[in-house]
Structure 1
Amino acid sequence: MSANDDFFRSRKAAAVLKHGILKRYPVVFASKTGQGKPVVFLDGYAGRGEYEEEGEEGSPLLLSRCADTVGSFRNVLLFFVEKDPSHYANLQRVLQQRGGSTRRILRQGDVADHLPEVSTPREN
C-alpha cells in the first residue's frame, strides 16, 4: 500500500481543513467571477472521490455540490484528473452515482498533461 492509498482510507487533519474550504469557497468564487464566462473547477489530484472507511465525500463530490448550487446562474464545468488507475475507476463510479448534474470531464493521468484541455474544455 502506498502513502497515497492510506490518504484515501480515512480523512486526515489536512483534508478536514481542505474540505471545509471546498464546502464554501467555490460557491463564492463562481458567484463573483463567472458572470458571462464559464467557470472551471479543476481537481488535478481527484483521488477516489470518497473515503473508504466512512464513505465520506472527497473533494470531487464537494466540488460537484458547489457546482450544482451555482448551476442555475453560472456556467460551470467540473474537470477531474486522477493518475492512479484504481482510484480513477472508483472516481468514475462515485461521480456517476453521486456526482450531481453539472457537466464534468474526467481524465486519467498526470494533471500537467491535461492542463491544455482545461483552458479550452470540450466535453468528450
Structure 2
Amino acid sequence: MSIYGTGYYFANLSAGSWTVVVKSDSFWGMSFTIAVSDANTSAILAETPAPSENDASLQFALEEDAVVNIVVEEVAGEGGFFDIGVYDDFNAIVATYGIWLIVVPVLVIGLIVAVAVCVRSRG
C-alpha cells in the first residue's frame, strides 16, 4: 500500500489541444505524474514521462469530442494540497506561468514608452 495519494478526475472536452496543469506549493514538496485516458476505451492518450515537482503539466490532443479520465498520482512528498485544471491553448500558458505573463511585458513596454517620451522631450 502506498502512502502517496492518487486523484481520479474526468472531463468532457471538445476536439482540440488541451493541457492538464497540476500546481502545488513548494511547502508540500509533492511530486506528480499525470495520465490521461479515453473514458470509453481506457486507451492512454498521454502520460508524463517522469515525475514533476510542485508543478506538472501534460499536453494532449483530441480528434473528436470525448470524455477523458485524468489520473494525478503523488509519487513523492509528505502529502498536501494541489490544484488541477484542464485548459485550452492560451489559457494553459496563463495557468502555467501565471499573471506574470501579462504583468512583465506591460511593465517593459511602459518603461520603453516612458524612456522614449523623455528622450524625445529633451531633443
- Structure 1 length as normaliser, TM-score? 0.31
Which of the pair has more CA radius of gyration? 2
- Structure 2 length as normaliser, TM-score? 0.31
Larger fraction in strand: 2
Q: Which has the higher contact order (CA 8 A, sep 6+)?
A: 2
